[in-house]
Structures are given as structure tokens and as C-alpha cells.
Amino acid sequence: MLTPPACLLEATPKDYFGYLIRFVLFLVFVGSPLAYWYARSRTTKWPVIEATIHKGAYGGFNHRMGQVLRAFLGYDFVLNGQRYVGTFGLLGSDETCRKLYESLPNQKIQIRYNPADPSATYLVDFKDSRFLDAVATQEPFFLANVPMFDLADTMK
């Protein structure tokens, strides 16, 4: 018969609370990125369509890992007469992100969309040469604190 380790036999409720906190932190910092990676890896067979980039929000925004300078951009595309939108963030230096925030709007970008639900989209190339040394992301972990912006206002 297996017996639990001595540290668990002598554990107090306070110890169990510590184990629970560690487990939750593990899920947040490891589980969330893994879930995003898995979801994104399933999109490789989705159809590709061209979208138009629009300005979103810009600035240094608070995040669980501290303040990160970044630009948030939106994009839209029309499929079967219906308009769909998506967003992505650029993380990098203030200078690079500001430059991209000003230069990328109205340019075209390739995205993948879910044929069963075209509102689910991902960028085709997160390392697009136009992004310079900035990193593009659509990971919810990074986009959680995006200031609200109405993409419809930027498309006028």
C-alpha cells in the first residue's frame, strides 16, 4: 500500500492553503499560455483572408507582470457580406510601438478565421517584418487589461 509523503501527513490547513495558492499560480502562469498555444495551433487549417488594420489604444498599461509599453490595433474584414473585427497587441519599446501605431493603420494583414465562427480570428504571421522588433500577440493573458476602444469609431 502507498503512503503519502511525511510532509503531507504532518500538513496543517495553513500548509494546504499554501499548496492551493502555488497550484493556482501555476495554472495562471503556465496553464493560460499553454491553453492559448493549443488553441492557436488548431487554427493552421483555417482559411486565410485579408483584413485592414485600424488604430486602437496606445500607452503603458498595467499588467500582472508590471507595466508594459504597447500598442493595440484592430482589424476588420468582410466575409459573405458581413463585417468581422479582431484585435492584437504589440509589445516592445516605446519608440517602436509608437512608430507602428502610427504607420500600420490602413495597411492590409493576413488573418485566419474559423469557418464555423468567423468572429474567431488569429493573425497568420505574428513575426510580420513590418512589426520591426516588436512582438505581436493575441494572447488573452496580455490583452486582459486593454483599455476599451470602439473599433467602429476608428473605421470612420
Higher pLDDT, 60 or 129: 129
Higher pLDDT, 11 or 49: 49
Could you tell me the residue ranges of all domains in the chain? 6-41, 48-154
Q: What pLDDT does residue 130 have?
A: 94
Q: What pLDDT does residue 48 have?
A: 96
* pLDDT higher than 60, residue 24: yes
One-letter amino acid for residue 22 of the chain: R
pTM over 0.85, yes/no? no
Q: What pLDDT does residue 21 have?
A: 74
**Who contacts 109 (Cβ-Cβ below 8 Å, separation ≥6)?**
50, 51, 52, 53, 75, 123, 124, 128
* pLDDT higher than 60, residue 127: yes
* pLDDT higher than 80, residue 146: no
Q: Cell 490547513, residue? A: 13
* pLDDT higher than 80, residue 119: yes
- The whole-angstrom separation of Cα 96 and Cα 101 is 9
- The whole-angstrom separation of Cα 86 and Cα 111 is 9
* pLDDT higher than 70, residue 56: yes
Q: What pLDDT does residue 58 have?
A: 87
Share of the chain above pLDDT 90, in %: 36
